[in-house]
Structure 1
Amino acid sequence: MSTIKQSSSHQIFEQALENHLSGQFQDAEQKYRLAINRNFYFFEAHQHLGLLYFQQNSFDQALNYFQQAFVIKPDDGQVLNNLGMTFMNLGLSDRAYACLKKAIPFAEQFPDIHYNLGVLKFGQKKIEQAVHHFTNAIKAHPHHVNAHKNLAFILKEMGETEHADTVYEQVLRFYFDPGIMVKKNMLLPVIPESMNQIIMLRQRIWNFIKKMPTDIQIQDPYQEIGSTLFYLSYHGLDNKDLQYQVANFYQSICPNLSYTAPHIDHKSNHTKPRIGIISCYFSKHTIGKVNHGLIHNLSRKQFDIILFQASNSQESYLSQKYSLPVVSLPLDLKSCQEKISAYQLDLLFYLDIGMEPLTYFLAFSRLAKVQCVSWGHPETTGIKTIDYYISSEYIEGSDAKNHYTEKLICLKNFITCFQRPQKTVKTIKPNMLNLPKNGRFYVCPQSLVKVHPYFDYILSKILQKDPKAHIIFFNAKYEHWTRLLKNRFQKRIPQGHDRIIFIQRMPLENLLSFLQNVDVVLDIPQFSSGTTTLELFSAGIPVVTLPGPFMRMQLASGCYKRMKLNTGIVQSPDEYVDISLKIANDHQYRKQMVQAIEEQSPLLFNDMKYVHEMEEIFRKLIFFNK
């Protein structure tokens, strides 16, 4: 009798498995349950029913059956792995880690154990542990495609460009994937070793897009490529032609980019012009800071305004903050295109293009009759469907239009309606941070990824000419980035690199207090600071800046021009060094600069003229493109 019962449950299980594999989930669920009813200790039935629920994102139900399977076989590597994955999806990372760690002895049999540990550790921002587990997953299963892809992605993020290149090369030997080919050949260093390295890698991109077969197709570049040439902007070079050629390359191999919303060829019947504003960075980011005043003050009487963002985590917060409808975008290109086009926009305003892949690849679609972008990422897009780039006379040179593939609109007003930060009441002095006594402190508060190799010359000269000089940077988000820059300084600034100090990042209020008590603040010529400079000037802090030919090199000097000041603007690297030394050593001169900035800085903040000029531009663009 027992034998017949066992045989019957196995037959039912086989039928359930067949239904499961053919996608007949409802039939499979019923039969798995029946098999369990016939034999409660049927391990495989519990395991597969858990997998069925997991596939359908029913993680609570999946957990129930995986736990039942665990009771039956507590030392089974597969069920421990499945429990770990389920706990991960339920947000219970500690319990996920406990299960996956216990499963490690079975990793040779089930390489996904190390893979899932890598995913877990990456989600916890424990980068080196994630690298360790992805590497072990590859050792256990050398053809584990996703382990290779994730390992290469992390190595790229960490700035280990050559190592990432090697991993991409390895996976391409056994798995042909056009997306991986693109990612491999578009790699750029986070912290470049030298200008020579920058030039060589840019040339590799040129060579690749010329030689890549155009009959190869990528269906969803957001999912399959998932990156942009973000770091091009930090190279200090003219990127227009390269951005344009890369955009044409993507257009040729990604046919789904060429999407046109159905309403484009029809006359609008809106009672008011409808404007969409799109970004992934409405909050907790500099993009949100510099655009808050515009979004908050744009006329609701003149326009219907809709915010499009790529995450639903801030939807209710943004809706309440701006009293505007907020649309959360799905993380696949086709669904995004359809969702935005349903709103039949007259104008779509990208706050940034090139910061991240979703809005970059969306920008290839014609989703509104007029599409424009501004300085959130201070770089031309190269994309034909972006019609206008909105900048300002304060941050552009006389030949600025030659730097953009878009038609350039230069505002007569400054480029933001920036809310002035509250005055700091804290006092943070260098001696409170264990910095050397009796030193003079030259501080660069910008991100380390912006520190161009040519800036090393200026730093070395300051260190040579001022024996008491200490140059202060702030640690990067990844320790490896900081280590890469330290290594570069050791090679390129042999005399004095020991007086370059890296300290922990700090909240804005603390930062402004600290910078009020140092000797001079240094702006990076190849990528000038916009948001940080505005915050510094709000606290009366002098900045030395060397403007260059491109808008991204003129943000700090534009702030000075808006204040009708020029004392911190220099014209050459040597003058940069001399003025920095003068500010640091001549206390009366520095005091005069502080006083002038404090008197003139109100011109930089809460500028409603900028908002009104943007409203006028939007009206004209919509009218002329009906």
Structure 2
Amino acid sequence: MQRAEMLEVIALFNKGYKEAALEAIHKIELSDPKNLDTKYNYALMLGLAGNHVEEQKKYKEIIEINPKDCDALVNLAVSLNETTNYKEAVQYSSEAISINSNIAEAYEARGIAKQHQDLVEDANLDLKKWLNLKIKNVNTKYSDTLIECLELIKINAIYETEKKINTDRIRLEEKARRIVESLKKIPSEYLQTNNIGKKIAFKLNRFYLAYQQKDDKEINEIYSQITALLLDKIEQPNKIKNIHNKKIGVISTFKYHPNLFIIEQLKQIDKNLQVVLIIINNPKIKLDGIPTNFKIDHVNISPDNLNQVVQNISNQNIDILFMPDIGMSIESQILAAYRLAKVSIMGWLHPVTSGSKNIDYFLSGELMETLESESQYTETLIKLPGIGLKINPEPYISTTIKKLHDKQKNEHLMVGCLQTPFKYHPQYDYILIEIAKKIVKVKFKFIKYQDELDEKLRKRLTLEFEKNGIDPSIITFQDRLNKENYRNFLKTLDIALDTLGWSGGNTTLDCLGAGLPVLTLKNNFMRSNHTAAIYKLIGIEELTSTSPEELIEKIYTISLNNEYLKKIRCQIYENFLNIKSECYISKFINEISLKN
């Protein structure tokens, strides 16, 4: 009887009635709480429904009953990776490997976890074991090339020195060029066997490459070629054809972007244009203020269903495709390898060229770019007004003029270093040291992100400070905070120091809404100039520097003049309240849609 009930529940779940199916299987489990088949199916459904916390509880219940259940151990490790519990993922996948050293998926799960822990050499070894197990029964003639592809994951999040970045970069570029030529010799049918080409492509996330702060055009072109070859998809640039279907597609792979960015920027798209927002590999979220001409699709993609997903998107006959965050995830890099619309556009939420011939336009802002910028993009660069975005100050406002006037002077100059650890390039560590040398009473407040990365950054800075005879205890790491507590934390700071070479966007807007001055440094890459451009928009340029020496001197001057600090806080706040901008992306898409 229970088996028949279970089959009905599975069928219900597969038809899309997930909540009803989960309620039904919960009742079945209550009637027989030790039944492992029930717990397995329950865990699988919870995982597919995106409830990874409850999924993990079920797998732990299975493991408690049977500690040597390798399937449960591996599935638990995979789920823990989804919730960024990488230490536990390593623990459970290692347990599975100790029981059975021939489980490819255990090495895969452990390799992914180690990659996120910035243990790229260990991750590479695990993923090579995964691949060897996957291809052991397949023609080995081309296996060396496929295994060499996994060398391309060796991109650290945190580097100890700039010299190490340069050495690794040269090695990576040389290897990538060789791999392109080798992949061209592999027959299509070989790559399609067990989807092995796609499975490797899904491992080659180059997200951290951009944080080396080089010109990424050439290396992204090479990675894009490798991705296309592994997918057995030759890149074909498409000429702009007549727009006739009036359908706009938007693909986002980053869970915060639909609410934080996309709806706001696209709300002035012509109401006669149909917009389909495709949210990739993220749970369903409540979206506020959706225009009536928008349709929302949630899609999960993997190596095994990629062909079907691409076909489904292509079948929608999208005229203009907007991908605001190519590079933020491997899924966005994969989808950029396909021609999914007549015209494809990317935004600057990951402010680096895609390298793909299938992306036609890069939408940026004229205040962030330089005269030489075009040479840094494979796409046609479009310099929209300002920073290219509509900025609504209201969501960022977290204080009042009175509170800014009444703010008491801190005993130390409290400097906020508010970005994620991988944005702090070692070439700029000396600036913190020089600030500490000039200002006796100063403290640097970082924000925790992930234990392993936090510790690598802390260790690097500690060594540099000690080498220069400076007490490293002036560097502290603040626990991550919810939105309200984060805004209260900003009010305790005197200034924020922009991430040099990778300027803040949303973080800067949070600071301006709190009346917190952000000291920034311009350079030749657009990704360095977000804060400087926002300051231009609000008519305040005195906090922007063009050299490290100028930046250090400005911070020193501010530390001596609390009255100036009060004045500039109020000016920032008032000017930010009155910032002027428009939905430039909407306007650009509307114009493209009218072309014959």
- What TM-score results when the alignment is normalised by the length of structure 2? 0.82
**SS of aligned partner of 2:334:** helix
Residues 1:89 and 2:62 aligned together? no
**SS of aligned partner of 2:276:** strand
Indicate conservation of the 8 Å contact 2:250/2:322, yes or no.
yes
Q: Deviations over 1:480-517 (max 9, x none)?
A: 11111111112222133221000112233433333233
- Work out which of the two has the higher radius of gyration on C-alpha atoms and give 1 or 2: 1
Distance 2:133 2:315 in 1: 42
Distance 1:225 1:132 in 2: 26
Instruction: Say if 1:210 and 1:146 are closer, same or farther in 2 by CA, change over 3 A.
Output: same
Instruction: Give the equivalent residue in structure 1 for 2:365.
Output: 392
Distance 1:126 1:337 in 2: 30
Residues 1:130 and 2:89 aligned together? yes
Supply the AA of the counterpart residue of 1:143.
Answer: N
Residues 1:252 and 2:229 aligned together? yes
Instruction: Give the equivalent residue in structure 2 for 1:453.
Output: 426
**SS of aligned partner of 1:297:** coil
Pairing partner for 1:185 from 141, 152, 160: 152
Pairing partner for 1:201 from 153, 168, 186: 168
Instruction: Say if 1:543 and 1:207 are closer, same or farther in 2 by CA, change over 3 A.
Output: same
Instruction: Give the equivalent residue in structure 1 for 2:398.
Output: 424
**SS of aligned partner of 2:343:** strand
Residues 1:308 and 2:281 aligned together? no
Deviation at 1:184, TM superposition (A): 3.8
Indicate conservation of the 8 Å contact 1:291/1:416, yes or no.
no
Instruction: Give the equivalent residue in structure 1 for 2:261.
Output: 290
Instruction: Say if 1:480 and 1:329 are closer, same or farther in 2 by CA, change over 3 A.
Output: same
Q: Deviations over 1:49-91 (max 9, x none)?
A: 98999799778899799979989xx7xxxx74x4543231243
Pairing partner for 2:520 from 545, 563, 568: 545
**SS of aligned partner of 1:442:** strand
Instruction: Give the equivalent residue in structure 2 for 1:410.
Output: 383
Distance 2:429 2:282 in 1: 42
Instruction: Give the equivalent residue in structure 1 for 2:107.
Output: 148
Instruction: Say if 1:351 and 1:211 are closer, same or farther in 2 by CA, change over 3 A.
Output: same
Indicate conservation of the 8 Å contact 1:470/1:499, yes or no.
yes
Instruction: Give the equivalent residue in structure 2 for 1:6.
Output: none
User: Is the deviation greater in 586-595 or in 147-156?
Assistant: 586-595
Indicate conservation of the 8 Å contact 1:582/1:589, yes or no.
no
Pairing partner for 1:101 from 60, 63, 80: 63
Identity of counterpart residues, as a percentage? 22
**SS of aligned partner of 1:368:** coil
Supply the AA of the counterpart residue of 2:247.
Answer: R
Residues 1:164 and 2:123 aligned together? yes
**For residues 508-523 of structure 1, what are the structure 2 equivalents within 5 Å?**
508-523=483-498
Q: Deviations over 1:253-307 (max 9, x none)?
A: 322465899xx9985544xx322222123x534x642333222232314x33222
Instruction: Give the equivalent residue in structure 1 for 2:506.
Output: 531
Supply the AA of the counterpart residue of 1:485.
Answer: L
Indicate conservation of the 8 Å contact 2:26/2:42, yes or no.
no
Instruction: Say if 1:426 and 1:179 are closer, same or farther in 2 by CA, change over 3 A.
Output: farther
**SS of aligned partner of 1:529:** coil
Instruction: Say if 1:578 and 1:290 are closer, same or farther in 2 by CA, change over 3 A.
Output: farther
User: Is the deviation greater in 151-160 or in 336-345?
Assistant: 336-345
Instruction: Give the equivalent residue in structure 2 for 1:299.
Output: 270
Contiguous gaps of at least 5 residues in structure 2: 15-20, 47-53, 136-142, 404-408
User: Is the deviation greater in 439-448 or in 166-175?
Assistant: 166-175
Distance 2:10 2:23 in 1: 8
Instruction: Say if 1:424 and 1:601 are closer, same or farther in 2 by CA, change over 3 A.
Output: closer
Pairing partner for 1:484 from 445, 456, 463: 456
Indicate conservation of the 8 Å contact 1:260/1:365, yes or no.
no
Deviation at 1:374, TM superposition (A): 1.2
Distance 1:563 1:48 in 2: 66
Supply the AA of the counterpart residue of 2:152.
Answer: N
Q: Deviations over 1:205-248 (max 9, x none)?
A: 22322233213454466654324211122111111111111112
Contiguous gaps of at least 5 residues in structure 1: 1-32, 34-45, 430-435
Deviation at 1:622, TM superposition (A): 3.9
Instruction: Say if 1:167 and 1:54 are closer, same or farther in 2 by CA, change over 3 A.
Output: farther
- Give the superposed CA RMSD: 3.6
Distance 1:452 1:122 in 2: 26
Indicate conservation of the 8 Å contact 1:183/1:225, yes or no.
no
Instruction: Say if 1:180 and 1:502 are closer, same or farther in 2 by CA, change over 3 A.
Output: farther
Instruction: Give the equivalent residue in structure 2 for 1:432.
Output: none
Distance 1:292 1:68 in 2: 43
Distance 2:8 2:77 in 1: 24
Where relative contact order (Cα < 8 A, 6+ residues apart) is larger, the structure is 2
Instruction: Say if 1:141 and 1:379 are closer, same or farther in 2 by CA, change over 3 A.
Output: same
Q: Deviations over 1:176-214 (max 9, x none)?
A: 477665344223112222222322332332232223321
The number of aligned residues is 552
Pairing partner for 2:554 from 556, 565, 579: 579
Instruction: Give the equivalent residue in structure 1 for 2:201.
Output: 225
Distance 1:439 1:64 in 2: 56
Deviation at 1:327, TM superposition (A): 2.4
Instruction: Say if 1:222 and 1:538 are closer, same or farther in 2 by CA, change over 3 A.
Output: farther
Indicate conservation of the 8 Å contact 1:151/1:164, yes or no.
yes
